[in-house]
Amino acid sequence: MYALIDCNNFYASCERLFMPKLIGKPIVVLSNNDGCVIARSNEAKQLGIPMGAAAFEYEKFFIENSVSVFSANFALYGDMSNRVMSILHEFSPECEVYSIDEAFLKLSGFQLSNLKEFGAAIYKSVVSSTGIPISIGIAPTKALAKVANRIAKKYPGQTENCYYIENEAQRIKALKWLQVEDVWGIGRRHSFRLKNLGVKTAYDFTQMNDKWVAKNMSIIGLRLKRDLEGIPTLGIEDIQIKKNIATTRSFERNITKYSEVEERIITFSVLCAEKLRAQKSSCTSLIVFIQTNFHRQDLEQYRKSVTLKLPFPTNSSIEISKFACEGLKIIFKEGISYKKAGVIIMDFKPEEQLQLSLFENSNPKHTILMKVMDQLNAAFGRQKVKLASQDLKRVWKMKQEMLSPHYTTNIKDVIKIQV
């Protein structure tokens, strides 16, 4: 048995947690540089605010409908996520943190008759300890737990925020209710193709031929199908959201000079490399992209990306930034006003499984150098130690005009109570 615990409207719930006056009021959270909507409370969804809505286009709408708007406070969200996940670890030793607001629990050895009560205990513990509302789905497989969770989230009153698929009749009913495009692990491309074949629901998908699924959706698609059939097939990390690490930013102003764009690409590469080293991996390919501001139709529009296969696996900031700059040279176009750029590193390999090449390998001296850099930055603050090719005086600061206090991570922002 598996349980999937999902925090409801997580970013909006974190903001509301420290401002109780916003309970029942519409809330939206904006992306980096206050660009677009990345999270909405239920009340904001009911107003018809779409995910990804450009903030400047909805500015008047937000005011007219008394929508509370917040800049993304990732320090707060990360800390609240850690608190929720630490509680979930107390309920099962086998806990897979799937994303910042989701986690699977494997319920080995639990009595099946008590699982509904078990879910209620999880809900009570998380809500009372953190104030973050959650939905819980319990089922024989991970994919079915995802389905059960959607039902609990859709019908919180009837399910008491926890739905348990405990028999075959419930499994079939749930799968007939769920649209195929909403099935965990079926992306937009596959769902479009399936719907053209008359496959409209998750149940329809389970009735498909195994050979067709394996041929057209790979072995992962076949595992997903069997999991939905109630056959435990998907183990830990068989389906992953994160297959790469990306650092992308909009610039505070349009940039035309190559040297300025190059400095940003180098900084983005360094940030990616730091995250890569933190998970003890190396990458073997990367993507570099640059683009103009598509809202400025008075300017020439341009967007270009390039994918580079690296000659050897590396997690060195020096080497990754060097390769990224090579990519930038290929796609950079003079006379263009650039508004956004990014670096995406991919195709990871564990550090301990790297194979040396006969002709070219990562510089072994970089391993010690990167370790020292990471230790210094951890001790004295992020980006205190930089590469010489970075702007030493420049500290990247996002536009965050509606940023809430760091209630739980900065002693200066701790809520004060008069007694």
Is the residue at 113 inside a domain? yes
Q: Are residues 253 and 205 in the same domain?
A: no
Q: Are residues 70 and 136 in the same domain?
A: yes
Q: Are residues 216 and 154 in the same domain?
A: no
Q: What is the pTM of this model?
A: 0.70
Could you tell me the CATH number of the domain that includes residue 218?
1.10.150.20
What pLDDT shows up at residue 74? 86
CA nearest neighbour of 139 among 131, 148, 130: 148
Q: Are residues 65 and 172 in the same domain?
A: no
Q: Are residues 67 and 94 in the same domain?
A: yes
Could you tell me the CATH number of the domain that includes residue 105?
3.30.70.270
What residues have CB less than 8 Å from 99, skipping those under 6 apart? 241
Decide which of 216, 241, 266 is a domain's last residue.
Answer: 241
pLDDT in tens, the chain (419 residues): 899 999 999 999 999 999 989 999 999 999 877 888 999 999 999 999 999 898 889 999 999 999 999 998 988 999 999 999 999 998 988 888 888 899 999 987 766 668 888 999 999 999 999 999 999 999 999 999 999 999 999 999 999 999 999 999 999 999 999 999 999 888 888 889 999 999 999 999 999 999 999 998 888 889 999 999 999 887 755 444 446 788 888 887 889 999 999 999 999 999 999 988 888 888 999 999 999 988 788 888 999 999 999 998 999 999 999 999 999 999 999 999 999 999 999 888 887 666 655 556 778 888 888 888 888 887 776 677 778 777 666 555 556 678 888 888 778 888 887 77
**To 10 degrees, what angle do helices 317-331 and 365-380 make?**
100
Q: Reduced to 3 DSSP states, what percent helix, strand and coil does the chain have, rounded to the nearest 5?
A: 45, 20, 35
- Report the phi/psi class of residue 137: left, alpha or beta, with left for phi > 0 and alpha for psi in -120 to 50: beta
What pLDDT shows up at residue 407? 84
Q: Are residues 122 and 195 in the same domain?
A: no
Q: Are residues 319 and 211 in the same domain?
A: no
Q: Are residues 13 and 153 in the same domain?
A: yes
- Please tell me the total count of domains within the chain: 3
Q: Are residues 182 and 151 in the same domain?
A: no
Is the residue at 261 inside a domain? yes
Q: Are residues 180 and 150 in the same domain?
A: no
Please give the Cα distance from 145 to 165 (Å, whole number).
Answer: 8
Decide which of 241, 269, 289 is a domain's last residue.
Answer: 241
CA distances from 48 to 29, 40, 58, 321 (A): 15, 10, 11, 42
Is the residue at 179 inside a domain? yes
Tokens of 323: 């390769």
Please give the Cα distance from 32 to 396 (Å, whole number).
Answer: 12
Is the residue at 389 inside a domain? no
Is the residue at 397 inside a domain? no
Is the residue at 83 inside a domain? yes
What pLDDT shows up at residue 241? 41
Could you tell me the CATH number of the domain that includes residue 329?
3.30.1490.100
What pLDDT shows up at residue 143? 94
What Rg value do the Cα atoms of the chain yield, rounded? 24
Q: Are residues 345 and 273 in the same domain?
A: yes
Is the residue at 390 inside a domain? no
Is the residue at 175 inside a domain? yes
Please give the Cα distance from 378 to 385 (Å, whole number).
Answer: 10
Residue numbers of the domain that contains 186:
167-241
Q: Are residues 147 and 258 in the same domain?
A: no
Burial of 92 (0-12, 13-18, 19+ CB in 10 A): buried
